[in-house]
Amino acid sequence: MRQPVLWEDIRSLARALLAHPAPRRPELCRQILAGAARARRQARATGRCHPRWGDGSLGAAARWFPLAPEPFPGEPDYAACLCLALTASVAGAAWPRRCGSGSETARRPDEK
């Protein structure tokens, strides 16, 4: 079972992305998500945290990178990072891969 994604996880991921240039952010986001998944697998198998990626949470994996100071959510660059973090966490949960305007992106797959 997948760990729940908490607001603090999203904020940490967005701040890690914000600390890097915009062209690098998508790849860094994928790297952090892969690290969190690796840590979850290790924690399940051994009962111990991964030495680099932590306990398997998105926030723990993101905090291995420098975090930018947190601006107000309406700051355009930070808002873009929040959107990327939210989109990536949704895609990681096997929900629709893209943010869209349709109602199908607003529900989990098991909801009717």
pLDDT single digits (tens) 93-110: 433 333 333 333 333 333
Q: Are 88 and 13 in contact (CB under 8 A)?
A: yes
pLDDT single digits (tens) 5-39: 899 999 999 999 999 999 999 999 999 999 999 99
Q: Where are the domains of the chain?
A: 7-94
pLDDT single digits (tens) 63-101: 999 999 999 989 999 999 999 999 998 886 433 333 333
Q: Are 6 and 51 in contact (CB under 8 A)?
A: no
